[in-house]
Amino acid sequence: MSTNPDWPQGHERLVLSETDSTMAEALRRLPDLKAPTWILALRQTAGRGRRGRAWVDPSGNFAATLLQRLDEPPQQLALRSFVAALALHEALMGLTGLEAGFALKWPNDVLLNGGKLSGILLESPGQGVLSLGIGVNLRASPPADPAAAFPPVNLRTETGLTIQPEALLDHLAPAFATWDQRLRTYGFDPIRTAFLQRVTRLGQTLVARTMTEEVQGTFETIDATGSLVLRTAQGPRAIPAADIFFP
């Protein structure tokens, strides 16, 4: 357990010196899960991102997964990606004391000075189970991907600040618990409003690439289900999942 007095009550905290992937570690620990558990790895050897992509994780970066049981339908579980993004944004601003530079990218990335600082991955390995993986480039950036919309950046290079992974976890966990309680109490609307206040490129033209098509339009809003809403020449389009790029 954490000695941090702000640590959310009833949540376990597990820090590993090394593992293959915190998402894989969460899956292995699922049969014995008795309480929501944050799993932090100080070194991750086989991290992964969305759609099975590799997540390169140099030493000193942040890699953690929250594993919990939630008696909710899948569409409600999926809204935790927005909760996680808001919590991470809040934790990073609190730790760094920086008011400018941080922004959100739909559906759940945190950007710093226009570059990709983090990635968030949601999976449901069983009914009512949520694995929420979060990776943050605290000290080093992975190699740039020419196909990516935003170049990778890291906190130390961009700000000159060195943040320890354990310190970020101790700020992230209570922030997540607070935003999550808002979702449970008031529904998605306040989460959606807060996300839109922090999201990048709102009102600008972007391209959404799904598994089957490419849609270009103006980023108009996020709807009540968390879908991206684009204003296109054919009218508004709600897109539940996509990679976004900018022409």
Q: Residue 232 is part of a domain; what is its CATH number?
A: 2.30.30.100
Overall pTM > 0.85: yes
Say if residue 55's pLDDT is above 60. Answer: no
Whether 3 maps to a domain, the answer reads no
Q: What CATH number does the domain containing 93 carry? A: 3.30.930.10
pLDDT tens column, 159-188 = 999 999 999 999 999 999 999 999 999 999
* Tokens 């919309």 -> residue: 149
pLDDT band at 42 (very low <50, low <70, confident <90, very high): very high
Residue 1 placed within a domain: no
Instruction: Residue 111: give the domain boundaries.
Output: 12-197
Q: Specify the number of domains making up the chain.
A: 2
Q: Do 133 and 239 sit in the same domain of this protein?
A: no
Candidate from 102-106, 149-153, 170-174 with smallest mean pLDDT:
149-153
Q: Average pLDDT in the 115-122 region?
A: 94
Q: Do 187 and 205 share a structural domain?
A: no
Kindly report, residue by residue over 61-96, the tens digit of the pLDDT: 999 999 999 988 888 899 999 999 999 999 999 999
Beta strand 37-41 with 12-16 is parallel
Q: Are residues 226 and 239 in the same domain?
A: yes
First vs last C-alpha separation in the chain: 47
Q: Within this chain, do residues 130 and 22 fall inside the same structural domain, yes or no?
A: yes
Q: How confident is the model at residue 125 (pLDDT cuts 50, 70, 90)?
A: confident
* Alpha carbon distances (Å) from 141 to 94, 154, 166, 218: 22, 5, 19, 30
CA neighbours closer than 13 Å in the CB half-sphere of residue 28: 8
Average pLDDT, the chain: 92
Return the percentage of the chain with pLDDT > 90, whole number: 80
